[in-house]
Structure 1
Amino acid sequence: MAGERDLQQLLGGMRPVLNPGRYVYCTLPAKVPAGLRPVVMVAEAEGPTIVVAQEEADALGLRYEYVAGWITLQIHSALEAVGLTAAVATCLAEHGISCNVVAGFHHDHLFVAADDADRAVAALQELSAANRA
């Protein structure tokens, strides 16, 4: 199934959902420890960066500085869609909320400071409502 490309349709139908839990960004010197279940992994020259549930990081004694809420935009966005990330980031910036975006094949995922997560969802719901036809 092809993802949505039309920006107004993407914004109007994004249906942001706050996933349960708190998530942290960790960097590792080498490979991901066995049994660790990252929700995101990025290979960087300095070592892998992972986003993982805070409880898992704490259980393994992993260091982190940023604790995030994880918001999933429920619309199936096309990877080549133009403007969704910019519109979402602009909306959140206008509310003083930082945002780290990860594109999956089916959905876009936003990591915002845990204390800002509910406000972020509310702001995105307003943006979505303003773009419904």
Structure 2
Amino acid sequence: MSGESDLAKLLSGMRPELAPGRYVFTLGPGRTVPAGVDPVVTVLEEEGLTLVLRQEEADGAGLPYDYVAGWITLRVHSALEAVGLTAAIAGELARAGLSCNVVAGFHHDHLFVPYERAEEAVRLLEGMAMR
């Protein structure tokens, strides 16, 4: 059940996949998810509940946001204790001037990058996998 932890294998097998749509980071009212909203990520912080959801859902619920992102899933089953994957990816994208917000799920890592440059980010990641 545990995932891959070897960095070379993680990078060569990451198979980045761009999800359709635009995703935004917003705050939920209080500590609850509003009705009619189906976030792909939630993070509870002292300051409030962060929601990552489709832009049209945020618009429909009247939730404010600033950052519009593309959602890339790395289709390699990475171990939660793996070392270096996030650093390698963030470094590659940073060299191209791309911000990257990373969320680790149990099976995969998920990257949220500027929407207008998401396809470029996928190409950069695919290039990393071929090295």
Band of TM-score, shorter chain: over 0.9
Paired residue type of 1:107: H
Percent sequence identity is: 63
Q: Which residue of 1 aligns with 2:16?
A: 16
Instruction: For 1:105 and 1:32, locate their aligned partners in 2 and report how far apart those are by CA, in whole Å.
Output: 22
Number of positions where the alignment pairs a residue of Structure 1 with one of Structure 2? 130
Q: Which residue of 1 aligns with 2:7?
A: 7
TM-score, structure 1 as length reference: 0.96
Q: How does 1:102-113 map to 2 (within 5 A)?
A: 102-113=103-114
5+ residue gaps, structure 2, are: none
Instruction: For 2:57 and 2:122, locate their aligned partners in 1 and report how far apart those are by CA, in whole Å.
Output: 25
Q: Which moved more, 1:23-32 or 1:60-69?
A: 23-32
Paired residue type of 1:62: L
Q: Which residue of 2 aligns with 1:26?
A: 26
CA contact (8 A) 2:10 2:76 kept: yes
Instruction: For 2:2 and 2:50, locate their aligned partners in 1 and report how far apart those are by CA, in whole Å.
Output: 29
Instruction: For 2:71 and 2:99, locate their aligned partners in 1 and report how far apart those are by CA, in whole Å.
Output: 13
Instruction: For 2:28 and 2:22, locate their aligned partners in 1 and report how far apart those are by CA, in whole Å.
Output: 19
Q: SS at 1:48's partner residue?
A: strand
Runs of 4+ in 1 over 4 A off after TM superposition: none
Deviations 1:34-85 (A, max 9, x none): 2310000000111100000001001111100000000000000000000000
Instruction: For 2:77 and 2:45, locate their aligned partners in 1 and report how far apart those are by CA, in whole Å.
Output: 27
5+ residue gaps, structure 1, are: none
Q: CA RMSD in A?
A: 0.7
TM-score, structure 2 as length reference: 0.97
Q: Which residue of 1 aligns with 2:68?
A: 67
Instruction: For 2:124 and 2:64, locate their aligned partners in 1 and report how far apart those are by CA, in whole Å.
Output: 31
